[in-house]
Structure 1
Amino acid sequence: MFKFFKRVSTVVGSELNAMVDKAEDPVKMLDQFMRDMESDIREVESAVAKQVANEKMLKRKADDAEAKVEKRQNQAEQAVAAENEDLAKRALEDKADLEQQAGLLKESWEQASKDTRELRHKLDEMKKEYQQMKLKKDSLQARAESAKTKTKMNRTMSAIGSDESKKGFERMEEKVLQYEAEADTSEDFTHENRSLDEEFDQLNDDDNKVDDELAELKKKMGKE
């Protein structure tokens, strides 16, 4: 009974952190801790309910015994008044037995009442501890999730900044530069070919111009 509270009732702060550090999944472990504590609390609540019922039963029996003692006392007095000593004597004898029973029942009820108070106090402590653990769990879960996120980010950043990644970027940069150089070379070659053609076109234009001027000069001098 109360297996989990016996095991972790003194586990707080760094001790709980240490338990979480050893777990494969801290979030799942913390949830399991809370379920175990809830189970123990339900057990204590059930025990308290039974103890309260037992206490009430003993109180009722003790009150009934006290009432019978008082009744026998009144009956003994009534018998004495009626000068029936034998009846009075029997009433007093039964009263003595009832007083003994009432005393035992009262002791049992007082012990039951004490046990009930202790169980209720224990239940209150367990509920308070549960709330503290719940707050601790929420905090640790948030920290665990934050740590996972940071680890993932750090690994990603590390991969981005690694030598392999840098070499990969450098290789891509070299390829781009090579593509650009090939494009420039192709453009220069095209320009060279175009310039050669233009020179011949210009040469043809110059030859045609000279021929035209020569014809014009002959015509002018009447040498046609």
Structure 2
Amino acid sequence: MITRMTKLIKAYVYEGLERIEDPAIMVKQYIRDVKEEIEKCEMKIQKHTQLTQSLELNLKQAKELVSKREEQAQIAVKAENDELARKILRSKKEVWEQMNQYEKLMVENKEQLKQKREQLEQLKLKYHQLKERNTELVLRVRAAWAKQHLNTEKKKEENTIFEWMEEHVTEPTWENENEIEMELNKLKENLE
């Protein structure tokens, strides 16, 4: 309900005093809404892409740190420093857990990125369909206007023709009547 009202208000603002429920206006508003959704989706894709790069870097650093901790633990064992080796192995385990967390986050992020790209493709398709629909509506409106204009002009022409015919058809009839009256009067005069 709120979304519908928002769209109607936006349509009213964009189109001024035209009728709010006009299909052409609503299609234009839907086009604007879909364009906004496309822009939001593109921003989310950009964020997911940046997150992927960040996670890949973190994962790489974590793997390097795990290898480094392993080497450090080996050096501590060789130096017979078991306490230091334990601390290093604890640190290695923590880094290992972080590395696993990064891998899970990367899988989730890649899935979301894939979904956002699919959503973007669907939005772009919808956008192009709405643009085509808008073009179709504009052409229909123009055709209807042209037809109405032609009908109006045709009626004007027909009315003009009828008016002309009435003027010209009645004139000869009136003139004929005068001639007939004159002839009748002549005949009467001749008879007298």
Q: Is the 8 A contact 1:65 1:98 kept in 2?
A: yes
**Does 2:130 correspond to 1:144?**
no
- Give the equivalent residue in structure 2 for 1:96: 93
**Does 2:165 correspond to 1:170?**
yes
- Provide, for residues 111-163 of structure 1, a one-character-per-residue CA deviation record: whole Å limited to 9, x for no partner: 1121111111111121122223222322332122112211221233234335x
Please state how far the C-alpha of 1:175 moved relative to its aligned partner: 6.7
Q: Work out which of the residue numbers 113, 124, 139 in structure 2 matches 1:116.
A: 113
Please state how far the C-alpha of 1:66 moved relative to its aligned partner: 2.1
| Pair member with larger Rg | 1
**Does 2:22 correspond to 1:32?**
no
Change in CA separation of 1:23 and 1:144 when aligned onto 2, cut-off 3 Å: farther
* Cα distance in structure 2, aligned partners of 1:92 and 1:152: 88
Please state how far the C-alpha of 1:77 moved relative to its aligned partner: 1.2
Q: Work out which of the residue numbers 68, 72, 85 in structure 1 matches 2:82.
A: 85
Please state how far the C-alpha of 1:42 moved relative to its aligned partner: 0.9
Unaligned runs of 5+ in 1: 8-21, 186-224
TM-score by length of 1: 0.61
* Cα distance in structure 2, aligned partners of 1:23 and 1:45: 30
Please state how far the C-alpha of 1:27 moved relative to its aligned partner: 4.1
Within-5 A mapping of 1:50-89:
50-89=47-86
Q: Is the 8 A contact 1:76 1:87 kept in 2?
A: yes
Please state how far the C-alpha of 1:167 moved relative to its aligned partner: 4.8
- Provide, for residues 21-70 of structure 1, a one-character-per-residue CA deviation record: whole Å limited to 9, x for no partner: x944x544433332222122111111211222222222222222222112
Change in CA separation of 1:154 and 1:23 when aligned onto 2, cut-off 3 Å: farther
* Cα distance in structure 2, aligned partners of 1:149 and 1:124: 37
Q: Work out which of the residue numbers 46, 49, 72 in structure 1 matches 2:43.
A: 46
* Cα distance in structure 2, aligned partners of 1:87 and 1:98: 17
* Cα distance in structure 2, aligned partners of 1:23 and 1:149: 23
Q: Is the 8 A contact 1:69 1:99 kept in 2?
A: yes
**Aligned-pair Cα RMSD in Å:** 3.1
The number of residues matched between the two structures is: 162
Comparing both chains, which one has the higher relative contact order based on Cα–Cα distances under 8 Å and sequence gaps of 6 or more?
2
TM-score by length of 2: 0.69
Identity %: 22
* Cα distance in structure 1, aligned partners of 2:74 and 2:61: 20
Counterpart of 2:80 in 1: which secondary structure? coil
* Cα distance in structure 1, aligned partners of 2:171 and 2:137: 49
